[in-house]
Amino acid sequence: MTRVTRGAVGLREVAGHAGVSVKTVSNVVNDYVHVSPATRARVQRAIDELHYRPNLSARSLRRGRSGLIALAVPEIDFPYFAELANHVVRAAEAHGWTVLIDQTDGQARREDLVLGGIRNHLIDGVIFSPLAAGPKQLQERTDRVPMVLLGERTTGGTIDHVGIDNVEAAKEAVLHLAAAGRTRIAAIGTQRPRASGTSRLRARGYRAGLRAAGLDYDDSIVMTAKSYHRAEGRSAMAELLDRAEPPDAVFCFNDLLAVGALRAARERGIDVPGDVAVVGFDDIEECTYSSPTLSSLRPDKARIAHLAVELLAGRLADGSGPAQDVVAPHELVVRESSGPVHDHGRTRGGALSRR
């Protein structure tokens, strides 16, 4: 086959144009030290004139590193994941890495692709927030690409993990509600018994919180949510509020559920926090602007992203060593939805509530 340039200008063309060898051009492109200023200038001019750009596929093949990492999340338009992605992109930048988004929809089939190394040798590492995949699938992966898991800690896992203490965080939320005098605290967001992920941990924290507050666990006010979208929170809350004995507080396992719950309350003229307090989880920006503003558990997303990227960096520098498990801090942020009930709030709540 004869040389076909495909119209692309490569090192060779630049070298020819500058009257040097490809190696020298490569040295300039890669900012190597041992290039005389004069040569460097000449090469740089050739690069500019020919609009040369290195072929990253070729570089990646040769170096064995692509400078790409994948972020595999259920849905990029979930505010939590969008905010997290933002932080991951920024943290990755510090290493000169670009982030590639893998949207799994939380489907087992698509998560298996991530675990199976669908993008082998194209990405240097992957940050993975699994929904369907359980500990077994995670252990059995055959892929060699460094991986950092987000979300639930796979007990005894061999894969690096970054997360917050979900049980403790959920417990804090419930204790906060109890301390505010709430005695009938519902939960929205449990999932099918064997579901992996954070829902189980938050449910455990919810029960622990009730216990610590001396409150009884009432299965009838624990609502499952098929997904963590706003619509699910709305319908679950609607069901709770339409009961004969509605709760006086609700702990939602994420903020979208909580926003949906606020909506359901508003539609019924039920005052939050006057009649029912609401606490969410994730502290997405929407919490600060909803009406009422939404109390929430804030995981340190920037920290999580930073830690995940640094763990990857560590694996890339030195693949060996035991799996690490890093716990990022969290914090309860109290806002109107579970804050002190003001007089005018009470009055209005009383006037409007219970239709």
Partner DNA sequence: TTGAAAGCGCTAACAC
Partner DNA sequence: GTGTTAGCGCTTTCAA
Helix (H) or strand (E) holding 295: strand 295-299
8 binds DNA (CB under 7 A): yes
21 binds DNA (CB under 7 A): yes
Among 34, 51, 192, 194, binds a copy of itself (CB under 8 A): 51
89 binds a copy of itself (CB under 8 A): yes
342 binds a copy of itself (CB under 8 A): no
Instruction: Please state the φ and ψ torsions of residue 159, each to the nearest 5 degrees.
Output: -115, 140
Among 41, 76, 94, 212, binds a copy of itself (CB under 8 A): 76
Stretch that binds a copy of itself, among 27-35, 49-57, 131-139, 185-193 (CB under 8 A): 49-57
192 binds a copy of itself (CB under 8 A): no
Can you read off the two tokens belonging to residue 125?
């590492």
Query: Residue 209 or 233: which CB sits closer to a copy of itself?
Result: 233
CB 261 within 8 A of CB 236: yes
Taking the C-alpha atoms of residue 212 and residue 190, their distance in angstroms, rounded to an integer, is: 20
Distance of CA 51 to the CA centre of its chain: 38
Can you read off the two tokens belonging to residue 251?
């702990």
Query: Residue 207 or 263: which CB sits closer to a copy of itself?
Result: 263
CB 155 within 8 A of CB 279: no
Instruction: Please state the φ and ψ torsions of residue 327, each to the nearest 5 degrees.
Output: -105, 120
Task: Scan residues 268-307 and list those touching a copy of itself (CB under 8 A).
Answer: 285-286, 288-291
CB 13 within 8 A of CB 25: no
Stretch that binds a copy of itself, among 24-32, 242-250, 254-262, 274-282 (CB under 8 A): 254-262
Stretch that binds a copy of itself, among 24-32, 139-147, 173-181, 182-190 (CB under 8 A): 139-147
Among 35, 195, 215, 352, binds DNA (CB under 7 A): 35
From the CB of 73, what's the least distance to a copy of itself, in Å?
A: 11
From the CB of 47, what's the least distance to DNA, in Å?
A: 10
CB 130 within 8 A of CB 196: yes
Distance of CA 201 to the CA centre of its chain: 16
Distance of CA 231 to the CA centre of its chain: 20
Residue 12, helix vs strand vs coil:
helix
CB 296 within 8 A of CB 92: no
The site for a copy of itself (CB under 8 A) is made up of 6-8, 51, 53-58, 60-61, 64, 66, 68, 75-77, 79, 82-83, 85-86, 89-90, 98-103, 116-122, 142-144, 230, 234, 259-260, 262-263, 266, 285-286, 288-291, 344, 348, 351-352
